[in-house]
Homo-oligomer: A and B are copies of this chain.
Amino acid sequence: MPRAGLDRAAVVDLALAVVDDGGPSGFADLTLSAVAARAGVAVPSLYKHVAGLPALRREVALVCVDEFETTLAAVRARCTGADLLPAYARAIRGLALRSPGRYQAVQGSSWMHDPDAAAVRATGERVVAELSDAVAALGVPHDRRIDAVRAVRAAVHGFVVLELDGGFGMPDDVDASFDFLVAGLVGGLERLAVSSGA
């Protein structure tokens, strides 16, 4: 009766593999059964390493939101000023298309009201703060900053969700539509900046 040599991190890694292999619904379909099967272990054995399915989801989400933040940090190292916001937008969509399950792990569940998900929430708030900086770099005045960040989040997240769901029926170029959206967003916010700043 050989041991599998699991530990918390290994279980989370296997869970991430399940999420990655499950497409856009990979996170929703994450199951202890699937993880145990990958580990070559009986389901209850997982409880030696994680507290249960909700806890595992939380740990997966934490990895994903950290990765999210890292991705944005890399963008920040590359771009400044008015280039930052569109670069963030593209990076977010890129990440969502590359890892739809991980994107859903971050965005899909409401970590907002889960008292045990403070860590996920904290990182999420740092990401939003990054977006806020990018909006500020466009010159958006203070009193519109929150509205502007909400608009950016809504537009980008909405687009990605619809795209991942296959919600864009027409076969027309989706990349072009995203560029259109981002251009409109940036243009609108810049216009807001000059009209108030001048």
Contacts and interface: CB of A to CB of B under 8 A. Distances in A.
Interface of A: 110, 112-113, 125, 128, 144, 146-148, 150-151, 153-159, 161-162, 165-170, 172, 174, 176-177, 180-181, 184-185, 187-189, 191-192
A112 B167 contact: yes
Given A151-B177, A180-B144, A181-B154, A110 B165 contact: yes
B112 A181 contact: no
A152 to B, nearest CB: 10
By Cβ-Cβ distance, the 3 closest A-B pairs, closest first, are A158-B158, A154-B158, A154-B159
Nearest to A109: B165
Given A128-B169, A156-B158, A169-B125, A151 B110 contact: no
A189 B188 CA distance: 10
A90 to B, nearest CB: 14
A154 B153 contact: no
Contact of A188 (B156, B159, B184): B184
Contacts of A162: 150, 153-154, 157
Given A146-B170, A184-B192, 12 more contacts: A110-B167, A128-B169, A144-B180, A150-B168, A150-B174, A150-B181, A151-B155, A151-B180, A151-B181, A155-B181, A158-B158, A184-B188
Contact of A165 (B112, B169, B176): B112
Nearest to A179: B147
Nearest to A189: B184
